[in-house]
Copies of this chain bind each other. A is one copy, B any other.
C-alpha cells in the first residue's frame, strides 16, 4: 500500500466524459490498495472565461475578488469528480482550499502556499475515502480565497504530497513524460525514464513546458518524487496492484538515478531579444545603473554579457529580455541615459535561447566546448553564452533555432538509447 497524489490538469477534466475517465484512473489506484488524494484544475477554458469576465468588469480589478471569481473553476471540477467517483463505487469527498485548510500568504493572484494541515485528509484515508482537492488555491490570512497564479495546480499537488507524506505525486498530463527535447522539433527525442530535481528545474526554467518551475522547486525542497505520465492512456491498461509502472518520467533525487548521463536534455525558449549598450563607462556601479531601473519596472533580464574594455574606460554591455519587453526596456534605458552614460543602444528581436542541461557537467570538462564546435560546424553564430553548474545556454538567431536543437541533441548522443 502506498499513499499517492494524482494531479489532473484542465484538458484531462475538460468535460464530463473526461472527468469520468479520470475517475477510472483514480479507481485503479484505490483498487490496488493505495490511499489517494486527487488534485484537479478547472475544466479547460473555464479559467480563461472567468479571467476574461473579471477584466471585462474592470481592467484594474481587485486581486481578492479576482481570486474569488477564478477559484470557482476548480471548485466545480472537484465536486464533479467526487460525484463521478461515487458513481463508480469509490468513496470520495471534495475539498476547497479553505476547508482543509491550505494556508497561503496574502499575495492574492500569485499566492504562495505556507502550510497545509494534513490531519483531516489522513483521517479520511483511514476510512477509505479519496480526497478530491481543488488545485491552484488556498486561503489567505485574511480568510479570503487566494489563488497561486496560472499553472498553480502542479504546485498544489506537490505541496499536498509533501504535507501528507505521499510516496509519489503523479502528474497526469497530455504528454507521457519528459523528453530529451521537444519531439516536435526533433522526432528522435526520447522519453527520459528518470531525471533529477535539479535537471528538471533547469529544464522547466529554460522552456520545457511539462511542469511549473515552482512545483519542481517545491518537490526538490521536500523530496517529493514526481511522476509525469499521460492522462489519455486507458485507465485500466496498467495493473497498479503489481507495482507495474506505465510510460512516464520519474523526477527524483540524483542518488536514485543509476545511469547518469553527462547531458540529459536540450531546452529552448523563443522570443528572446538582445539589447546592447555601446561604449558604457567601465566603472563601478554602472551595472546597478542599468539593471536597477529595469528591475523596478518589472522587466525580466536574463543573459548578461559584459565585454572587457581595451583601455579600461569604456565597454559594451549586452543582455536579453523577452521580445515583448523590448519597447518598455528601451524607454527605461532612454530615461536613465544620463546616469548610465552609454553612447548608443542597439536591439535585436527574434532570438532563441538553446540550453544544454545535465548533472554530469559538474564532473565532466569540455561539455560546452563540444557544443560550440558543433554549432560552428553548422555555421550557427553564437550571440551570447551563459553557464551554470549543470547547464549552459547560447543565444542564436531564431532561423537557426531548430537546427541548433537537433545538432546538440545529436552531438551528445541523446537520440541513441
Contacts and interface: CB of A to CB of B under 8 A. Distances in A.
Nearest to A54: B83
Interface in A1-20: 16, 19-20
A223 interface: no
A62 B20 CA distance: 15
A83 B62 contact: yes
A386 interface: no
A96 interface: yes
A375 to B, nearest CB: 50
Contacts of A56: 16
A289 interface: no
A58 B84 contact: yes
A69 B96 CA distance: 11
Given A98-B98, A144-B99, A57 B69 contact: no
A56 B71 CA distance: 22
A269 interface: no
Interface stretch (A73-81, A187-195, A326-334): A73-81
Given A53-B16, A68-B96, A58 B79 contact: no
A65 B83 contact: yes
A369 interface: no
B76 A69 contact: yes
B83 A57 contact: yes
Contacts of A79: 54, 65-69, 72
A87 interface: yes
A86 B58 contact: yes
A62 B82 contact: yes
Contacts of A94: 64-65, 68
Contacts of A143: 99
Interface string A171-205: 00000000000000000000000000000000000
A61 interface: yes
Interface hub of A71, A75, A78, A80 (most chain B Cβ within 10 A): A80
A403 interface: no
A60 interface: yes
Nearest to A17: B56
Q: Which of A67, A71, A72, A79 has the most CB of B within 10 A?
A: A79
A98 B139 CA distance: 12
Contact of A68 (B53, B64, B75): B75
Given A75-B72, A99-B144, A143-B99, A66 B83 contact: yes
Interface string A133-174: 000000000011000000000000000000000000000000
Interface in A84-126: 84, 86-87, 93-94, 96, 98-99
A201 to B, nearest CB: 34
A148 to B, nearest CB: 17
A367 interface: no
A166 B65 CA distance: 25
A50 interface: yes
3 A-B pairs with the lowest CB-CB distances in the bound complex, closest first? A58-B87, A68-B79, A69-B79
18 contacts: A16-B53, A16-B57, A50-B76, A54-B80, A57-B81, A58-B84, A61-B83, A61-B87, A62-B82, A65-B79, A65-B93, A66-B79, A67-B79, A68-B96, A69-B83, A72-B75, A72-B76, A72-B79
